[in-house]
Structure 1
Amino acid sequence: MNKLMKTTILSSSLVTVMAGAAVLIIFFSLLSGKLTEKFTKKSILIVVLIF
């Protein structure tokens, strides 16, 4: 039973981390979409490379 509990906790932790990563990916996708509406991709790339 103890081994099953550890597996359940690890699975829950993995799901939580994956959900957090998905939220970040969605956020940055939306942010980059808005930035490319206002600026050209070339100018964004230059700014990212400088910083």
Structure 2
Amino acid sequence: MTSKVSLCTVYRDLESIKAAGIPIVAYPGTSGGYEIMENAASSKRKTPFCHRQASVV
């Protein structure tokens, strides 16, 4: 699935997520990407994102 957002927006959102204390892992390469670390307890964290934004991440 692809989404039409700018690379700048992606990096800005990733920095905001990291600043909120949510651990992110990065996978290099053409099939790589970013994801919230498996052991992160998302239900215990409060993020500054609305439901739609959080689902994109």
Task: Give the structure with the higher percent strand.
Answer: 2
- Could you tell me the TM-score, scaled by structure 2's length? 0.33
Task: Give the structure with the higher percent helix.
Answer: 1
Q: Indicate the structure (1 or 2) with the bigger Cα radius of gyration.
A: 1
